[in-house]
Amino acid sequence: METFDGTRRWGLATLLPLPAVLLWTALTASRASGKSLKRILGVRAFRYLTSNLSVSQVQYLLGNTMDVYTKWTKSVKLPRVADELGGAARLLWVGPKRLDRVIYVFHGGYFILPVTDFTLAFWRYVQVSLEKQGIEVGIAVLQYSLAPISTFPTPLNQARLGLEALLAAGVRPENLIIAGDSAGGNLALQLFSQMLHPLSDMPEIRPASPFRGLCLLSPWVSLTADTASVRECDGIDTMTERMLAVLGADILAGFPEADHAAFAEASKAPGTWFHGLRGLVQRVLVTAGSFECMRDDITRLGEGLKTHHPNVELVVQEGGLHDDMLLDFMMKESKLGSLTPLIISWIAAESS
């Protein structure tokens, strides 16, 4: 994807090479990966489109989070339940709204893209799977404002407003899991950074007790594409080195102050930054894929969190890509990878 000021026009020229790209992928794909050809082609198409379309084109194609949520709830015959938080922020409920146990979700998308229908489908699958174990949970997805119109600290403040709304509605911190994938994982860590190092121009967050869990799925924790895994996995992962570098630079420009650096890039925060995390959350799950460009940044973060919290689980999925579990739902795979059941088991243990 181009930078925010890119002016590449929509045209057939952008899409014409795609069939040839997919044909070549089909002919050269390794069956040893354990992935279906459908998924391999879907990943290649996803990488091609996000690498060759501009930000404005992709935003136009996908619409906004409320549009995606409304269409998805209608397609799966679920109620559309949205709690207004003010401005463009809302809590969008997946399935029935319930407050006894809640997973508070921040979606990914490089801070520029809305939630996807397959992200909603993933969390609905998690919800139904938990129900089969006798564990009922409400899932609230935050609709937050996107770049380039909105930059830091707007999404963070909206995340805070959503959290305060849930707590004010009666959700107990010990029954609340905060979860985020990709940019959503970055936002979740911003929220905990605000608890530990409050910004002077934003109300402090003081939970009455530790939260039940923090679930970070392929979190985008460094906005500079400068690790070995970025180069190693370029052309394999759903993202590319160039895309990460360009988008990361644009987002990082929205953190102009030196004391905002750790909010932007948690993996590069000072060693003591997350001291006190143990008093804020009971357990932490961090996941990455072995073929993920962000792998090194994520593992660095996970190992760093372990020095401040005794219950941090870091999982690197063998052969996994960025947000690997979501890709299964994007392609409507019948056979899911290892991360989805692992995440469900982790949440179930948290909720027992």
Which residues are identified as catalytic? 182
Residue at token pair 């190693």? 232
Residue at token pair 């004010």? 168
- By DSSP bridging, strand 138-143 and strand 213-217 are unpaired
DSSP annotation of 137:
-
In sequence order, what DSSP letters do the residues of 32-57 get, joined into one string? GG---HHHHHHHHHHHHHHHHS-HHH
- CA 299 to chain CA mean position, Å: 16
The span from the CA of 171 to the CA of 103, in Å, is 10
**Mapping DSSP to helix (H, G, I), strand (E, B) and coil, where does residue 213 land?**
strand
Phi/psi of residue 157, nearest 5 degrees: -65, -35
DSSP annotation of 236:
T
End-to-end CA distance of the chain: 43
DSSP annotation of 82:
E
Residue at token pair 């102050």? 257
For residue 324, what are the contacts with CB-CB under 8 A and spacing of at least 6? 218, 289, 292, 317, 337, 339
How many residues appear in the chain? Answer: 352
HSE at residue 41, side-chain half, CA atoms within 13 A, is: 14
